[in-house]
């Protein structure tokens, strides 16, 4: 049994190395295979940073162009999926920066960071798809900070550096995003209960 498992792992590693080598050589068939392998998961990442599929697809395609261009720099001792995901996140941030005119920055003084009472179990009543749709309805600034902080795990200092805003603005945008999401979720639940 151990020999079969070892052989399977060697074949999988060999196939993965072949895929990467083909992509690095610029062979379209391998690039297509890599794209198709990670399309769904990376599209989900891009959708979190946009409010429509077309915009997400543009970011995804731009991100994959960066993947193919920089694949020779990939370190095989790290997860390929995590490496590609980081590129998609950074491409989403770049897209956000290009569209600065859409920002909705709010001063920290106006943000309320106190969570509303009684909302703890609201999210469990909605599906992941419904929550994603609500997040996509946030303004680009709120949506980006929310994703970077809540989903990707960045702190406010790191978000500020990535987006070119102050740490206070990041905190403010997160608080406003949470408040708007809370209001949208409550509205959705009221409509469901009718």
pLDDT tens-digit series, residues 147-171: 999 888 899 999 999 898 999 999 9
pLDDT cut 70: percent of the chain above it = 78
Q: Is residue 32 predicted with pLDDT exceeding 80?
A: yes
- How much is the pLDDT for 16? 82
Domains 2-98 and 104-192 share a fold: no
Total number of residues shown for the chain: 194
- How much is the pLDDT for 2? 78
> From residue 106, how far is each of 15, 100, 159, 175, 177 by CA, in Å?
50, 14, 15, 10, 11
Q: For the chain, which residues make up each domain, given as ranges? A: 2-98, 104-192
Q: Is residue 54 predicted with pLDDT exceeding 60?
A: yes
pLDDT tens-digit series, residues 102-133: 444 443 334 444 444 444 455 555 677 777 88
Alpha-carbon distance 25 to 117, whole Å? 56
pLDDT tens-digit series, residues 65-79: 999 999 999 988 888
Provide the sign of the torsion angle of the four alpha carbons 90, 58, 39, 77, taken in this order: negative
Q: Is residue 41 predicted with pLDDT exceeding 60?
A: yes
Residue whose pair of structure tokens reads 């992509």 in the numeric block = 23
**Structure pTM?**
0.69
Is residue 99 very low, low, confident or very high in pLDDT (cuts 50, 70, 90)?
A: confident
Q: Is residue 185 predicted with pLDDT exceeding 90?
A: no
- CATH number attached to the domain at 2-98: 1.10.1740.10
Closest CA to 178 of 126, 120, 127, 129: 120
Q: Is residue 57 predicted with pLDDT exceeding 90?
A: yes
Class of domain 104-192: mainly alpha
Q: Rounded to an integer, what is the distance from CA 140 to the centroid of its chain?
A: 13
Greatest distance between any 2 Cα atoms in the chain: 64
- How much is the pLDDT for 112? 41
pLDDT tens-digit series, residues 168-182: 999 999 999 999 988
- How much is the pLDDT for 9? 59
- How much is the pLDDT for 12? 55
């Amino acid at each position: 049994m151990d020999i079969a498992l070892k052989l399977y792992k060697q074949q999988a590693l060999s196939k993965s190395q072949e895929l990467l080598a083909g992509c690095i050589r610029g062979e379209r068939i391998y690039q297509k295979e890599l794209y198709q392998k990670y399309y769904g998961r990376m599209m989900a990442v891009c959708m979190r940073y946009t409010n429509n599929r077309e915009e997400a697809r543009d970011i995804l395609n731009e991100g994959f162009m960066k993947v193919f261009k920089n694949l020779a720099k990939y370190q095989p001792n790290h997860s390929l999926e995590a490496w590609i995901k980081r590129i998609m996140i950074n491409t989403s941030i770049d897209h956000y920066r290009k569209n600065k005119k859409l920002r909705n920055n709010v001063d920290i003084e106006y943000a309320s960071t106190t969570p509303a009472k009684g909302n703890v179990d609201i999210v469990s009543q909605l599906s992941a798809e419904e929550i994603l749709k609500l997040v996509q309805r946030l303004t680009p600034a709120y949506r980006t900070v929310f994703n970077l902080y809540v989903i990707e795990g960045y702190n406010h200092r790191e978000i500020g550096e990535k987006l070119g805003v102050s740490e206070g603005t990041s905190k403010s945008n997160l608080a406003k995003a949470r408040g708007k999401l809370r209001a949208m979720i409550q509205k959705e639940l009221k409509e469901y209960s009718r």
